[in-house]
Structure 1
């Protein structure tokens, strides 16, 4: 009887332990589900706020810049003083720069652009417009691009790196051609920018031309940036971990 009682108590103890463990695991699962639901809702709130800001900027700031541009053009057409016309031309250029900056901000805020394909599409269009007035021809090659997600912050920092590279080509290279290559692997996005210009010495290059800014931005993204040795021109490589 004693052995039977011990066996019964042992079974009851084991049953209680199993019940408590099962209950504990269920509670953990419920807590994880609640945290995940809360995080998803927070992400949706952030996305809605980004879209609201984007719409407000487009409607208010965009309309204001366009109105200012029209007013300046109207005044310029009425003015005969050449010095004043030159000052107004400067204002028109400033308003164009403001409009471009606003478009970049709207692009960075739009959550629909948070993927590799849309990022590459935007960079391609920007580069084509950027070099449109220069003697430099721009060429693009891409492979294995997907809809892999990249955050707005990542997009903006990576774009600013490429923009700095384009500015260097335009200002310093005297290049006839610039080539962009976009390649996606299982875990990385690799972008190279290469021109056929006059090149620049490594010592001078490392001291300026936005190199420190490119390095800093890529470091913030836990990515990599390096300069590839080239017989002609400058060859930049940006590596982003996806």
Structure 2
């Protein structure tokens, strides 16, 4: 040896990338797997079927025990009749007891099942003892007051009846069998109930999602095209009046109509694809100023809020501005409109005030458009309100936190 020290390199204990742990790697690996569609595994039907498997196993064990004892044919026929009644009672208890508050209404059925569990012991003996597992499960499923005490009495009764006819160890085996079968049937019944509840909740969530999407589509349709169509109507009427006297000006207005129509068509196509590009408040300012000025309204805009707002808030305020301009055109004879956007105390506040309120049209201000604005601002933790103020002026206010 030359005196050099050789240090054995220890293998690095790496699971994945640096900083990753085994659960993280497992989650990322599972995320890359394709999920099975729901219809490939009919979970509810499968759990309902599994629920009755212990029942079938108990009946088969009792039947085999009777056949080994060469039971008379009449008792075998009675056995199948009793099993049919027991099955019906057990099915009612497993279905109703796990899905509804029965408030003691299942007690008569539980009493019938108890009678069918203990009385046939006089004729069938030990082979019928396994039926006590069904009774133990029903006691827990009915869930009456003192259910666990009654359940314990059922188990002790099995131990006592079996011990009177056989040594202690076989009797204890019957009692353990009753405990296990009772818990198994109770567990499978609860599992089936939970699966059914999950399916119902998912269907309800799907219906709620469809309703929300319909509301969103209706709201977007109104908010996107309300101002555009109002502008088209206004420009069309203006062009119609200008044609005889000012052909050049009329041509400009018709070109503007075509441009607005194309933009409306673009908005419609984008919204139909489901990923509409967000509106911009800054861009909407110029559009609103142009439309209102063309309608003969003197527009004053005082914008002191930050240039860059949260995208969701910026889009919501742009829609409020567009809806406000559409209402000014449709529902008033305004000569002046003042738009103010301020930011203070962590909130953005947009106020639109116009004169020329038409009394007959003032009642229309609470229509779908304003309701949509209220819903949009509420989603951002804010509010929107509108109404006629003193002096015959109409005020539209929208406010929401800056960090929505």
Question: Structure 1 length as normaliser, TM-score?
Answer: 0.50
Larger Rg: 2
Structure with larger RCO (C-alpha < 8 A, sep 6+): 1
Q: Which has the higher strand share?
A: 1
